[in-house]
A and B are shown apart, each in its own frame.
Chain A
Amino acid sequence: MQVERLTYTDEQIRQTIEKVWQELLQEADAENYSLEEYLEDYRKYWDEPDFPNDIPELIMRTVEKIVGRPLSWYCELVRDPAGFTGEYSFVVVDPKTQKCLTYREYTSDGVNVHRFIHVAGTVVNYEDIVRLVTKLLNQIQSALADT
């Protein structure tokens, strides 16, 4: 099987986030609402039921644009008894192979194996979005290389 090589830079991730944000605005017929403004509102109202949480879509569309094809994914908004924690947990699957691309394995003390099927991160500001997109891309690249 041909291994896909992903190439991306920090600048490209930032440009893609902006491009995707513009797409989301167009789809919602909501022009002139910058991502910075949205994030300000997001920090105030993120746990309000009526507040449109576009973060998962923004992150995954950015990832898909850089990977160059659609992926199957699920995002959980992590909650504790006090409400939404700001953490997002993504499970991403390659629709071509059904392989879970967010599956990770760690060993500790050379014996215990810890397995995870999600990649998680907290989003409060713009840099958190860049960080989480990068984390997902790094993980996806490594999973595709193992295919």
Chain B
Amino acid sequence: MDREKVLQALKAAQAEYNIEDLDRFIKQAWEEADIIDAQIVAELTERAVEILLDQDFLWAHIIESEDCEEWIPDGWYSFIAVHPETGQCLTFLKDPVYSWESRISFSARIRSADDAVDAVTGLAELIEQNLKSRAVE
């Protein structure tokens, strides 16, 4: 995945959310364990993937937390993407031996803008791979 394109997609998503400094916003969301900002980080990541691949998807995200009682976000996120027309799970990662052990979500640590680039890249690559494998079938 071309890093420059990923950065452009993130910038476009950042503009949609009216965020001036993405790195500061993400770091602050993590350091202050702000659940609302963490929600925005997750949505912005999803939107950047959509811009990058020029397609809309259905999403579910889970903001992971280190303290279940206080629900303090720990900078880790899990994403599930589904194709809106076919219902195919696009974040599916098949276990080569035990199919039921397959993962249906993509996990990423997003505590900085650099992490966001890695998350968008990883998510987009997995989704592309699943879209291609489906097209081949």
Using CB atoms and an 8 Å cutoff, list the residues of chain A in contact with chain B. 47-49, 69-74, 76, 79, 81, 83-84, 89, 91, 93, 95-96, 98-100, 103, 115-118, 143
Contacts and interface: CB of A to CB of B under 8 A. Distances in A.
Residue among A74, A84, A93 having the largest count of chain B Cβ atoms under 10 Å: A93
A72 B102 contact: yes
Nearest to B36: A81
A50 B129 CA distance: 39
A96 B137 CA distance: 13
Contacts of B86: 99
Contact of B69 (A47, A95, A99): A47
Given A74-B104, A103-B87, A117 B58 contact: yes
Given A74-B78, A98-B88, A98-B89, 9 more contacts: A48-B69, A49-B68, A72-B92, A74-B105, A91-B80, A93-B102, A98-B92, A98-B130, A118-B60
A93 B89 contact: yes
A60 B102 CA distance: 15
24 contacts: A48-B69, A49-B68, A70-B99, A72-B89, A72-B92, A72-B103, A72-B104, A73-B104, A74-B104, A83-B71, A91-B80, A91-B89, A93-B102, A93-B104, A95-B94, A95-B102, A98-B88, A98-B130, A99-B88, A99-B89, A100-B89, A117-B80, A117-B82, A143-B87
A103 B99 contact: no
Contacts of B69: 47-49, 83
Given A49-B67, A117-B58, A100 B100 contact: no
Contacts of A116: 58
Nearest to B66: A49
A93 B84 contact: no
Contact of A47 (B59, B68, B89, B102): B68
B93 to A, nearest CB: 10
B62 A76 contact: yes
Contacts of B132: none
Given A98-B88, A118-B60, A103 B35 contact: no
A-B residue pairs, 6 tightest by C-beta? A70-B100, A95-B99, A103-B87, A93-B89, A49-B68, A117-B82
Nearest to B90: A98
Interface in B40-82: 58-60, 62, 67-69, 71, 78, 80, 82
Given A47-B69, A91-B80, A115-B84, A76 B60 contact: yes
